[in-house]
Amino acid sequence: MAGAIREAIALLRREAPGEWIALSSAAAGSDILFAREALAQGCAWQVVLPLAPAEFKQDFSEAEWREVEALLAQAEQVRVLSEIGAREDAYLNAGMETVHASDIVLAVWDGEAARGKGGTADVIAYARDLDRPLIIIDAQTLSVRRENSSAFTPHDHDLAYFNGLPPAPASAVGTGNPFGAPAEILEFQRKVDHTASRGAPQFRRLIASTTVLHVLATLVAAAALAFTLKAAMLPWMKLACLAGALGVALILRKQGAHHHWVRCRLAAEFCRSALATWGLPREALISVEIDLPGIRLLVRTLQVLHRRAAGAQLVPIDEFKRLYLSNRVDDQLSYYEHRLARALPQLVWLRAGFWVSTIAAITCAAAYALYRVWHYADLPLGAEQWLFYFFPISLPVVAAAFISLISINDLHRRVARYREMCAILQAARKQVAYSRTWSSLERIVQHTEQALLQEVIEWHSITSFAESH
């Protein structure tokens, strides 16, 4: 059995050179064999325990548990999934989590149905439902078969794209490295941040320009009708506005630049979070639940590197607090205050423009209706053209443009969100400054980073489809 597992691991390492991380539980039998063979071949081993060790050890004899404890001491990470609950449920959860966190699943199976919930058959069925690549070793004959091998991609195209970006110029201002993270991470963050900043395609401005061009085309047409203008240039002006709007719309359909910009910004912010928390004495479980396709392997890599570095170089707690406040909290607070100071006046002016245009349109329409009924006075020709023809046509369009610009720029949400982030960061600043223990500080830092990354994910969800407006 051990030989078959050894050969399966060796085959994978030949097919996809690089670092492999083994992930399994520590149950008696094939789990233990797999862990030993993976460690013997130089793989890091991470453990998913279905129960707390004190409860899990009940499935072993005293001698067996001493061997398991010695093996667990070699694990890079030990995660406990369930502290309470039914035992079979805990084992099923551990199997499902192992499948979910794996790129390829290696299983030793006799082909029989699961003997109780959480057996090998249940885990293999789950892997098949998720379309995970499978290597199944027959427990009786030791024959090996593979399923869904085409789903295994040894190279991540997104990470290859990031790695292929040119280095940031020396003059580029990027995130600092206050806690001495590996230089490769700092350089990676700087180059994706520089690429995102340089390549931001300003899609909101492009979308807003289509609205403005349509309004201009309407105003030209309304002016021609209201004032019976016969100038030859008017149709060409209207055509130019409409053609310009169409041209911008076609530019927006070009998704390549937009996609690269969004994923570079997302990658830069996750690296920024990792650099800002590198000095914690324990692994920061900040982005464990984040599974965005474009940066999945990047996040996983940052987690592994962060875990291995945790505690390697201890930073005094007061020094960590000072650096984290100045390099992360204050920096982000300044950013959101600046964004709020820009977005709020835009919202106020656009909202005022909507109300003024709407009320003026209603006033002109009411005046025209009253004039048609009572014809209470003769108006100068110019006033009649403006009040009864041009304004009633153009003002509703202008009002719609104002409300469209508010929607396009997402101003209501952004103003509310910026205020929330400022409040969160101001509270975090006080909490970090007051913390006296690593435990309380880690909790506050984790909460702060989750809030910051959640805002990035929310931005990603909205911005990813900006070109489809």
Cβ pair 287, 270 in contact under 8 A: yes
Higher pLDDT residue, 111 or 338? 338
State the CB neighbour count (10 A cutoff) for residue 166.
8
The 3-class secondary structure across 127-171, one letter per residue, is HHHCCCCEEEEECCCCCEEEECHHHCCCCCHHHHHHHCCCCCCCC
Cβ pair 274, 199 in contact under 8 A: no
Where on the phi/psi map is residue 354: left (φ > 0), alpha (ψ -120 to 50), or beta? alpha
Tell me the CA end-to-end span of the chain in Å, nearest whole number: 58
Residues in the chain: 469
DSSP class of 282: S
Whether pLDDT at 256 is above 70: no
How is residue 281 written in tokens? 């004495």
State the CB neighbour count (10 A cutoff) for residue 437.
9
Q: Assign 105 to helix, strand or coil.
A: strand
Scan for tokens 């667990």, then name that residue.
72
**pTM for the model:** 0.81
- Per-residue pLDDT at 469: 46
The C-alpha atoms of residue 122 and residue 95 are separated, in whole angstroms, by: 8
The C-alpha atoms of residue 192 and residue 168 are separated, in whole angstroms, by: 8
Whether pLDDT at 285 is above 70: no
Q: Return phi, psi of residue 320, to 5°.
A: -60, -45
Whether pLDDT at 219 is above 90: no
How is residue 81 written in tokens? 């999934």
The C-alpha atoms of residue 313 and residue 26 are separated, in whole angstroms, by: 30
State the CB neighbour count (10 A cutoff) for residue 282.
12
Higher pLDDT residue, 351 or 110? 351
- Per-residue pLDDT at 354: 93
The alpha-helical segments, DSSP class H, found in 282-379 are 296-309, 317-324, 330-374
- Per-residue pLDDT at 252: 64
Whether pLDDT at 384 is above 80: no
Q: Which residues contact 390 (CB under 8 A, 6 or more apart)?
A: 222, 223, 226, 227
Q: Which residues contact 119 (CB under 8 A, 6 or more apart)?
A: 113
CA atoms within 13 A on the CB side of 361: 15
Provide the total of helices (H) and of strands (E) in the chain, helices listed first: 18, 6
- Per-residue pLDDT at 424: 96
The C-alpha atoms of residue 90 and residue 80 are separated, in whole angstroms, by: 10
Percent of the chain with pLDDT over 90: 22
| Average pLDDT estimate for 315-324 | 90
| Average pLDDT estimate for 82-101 | 80
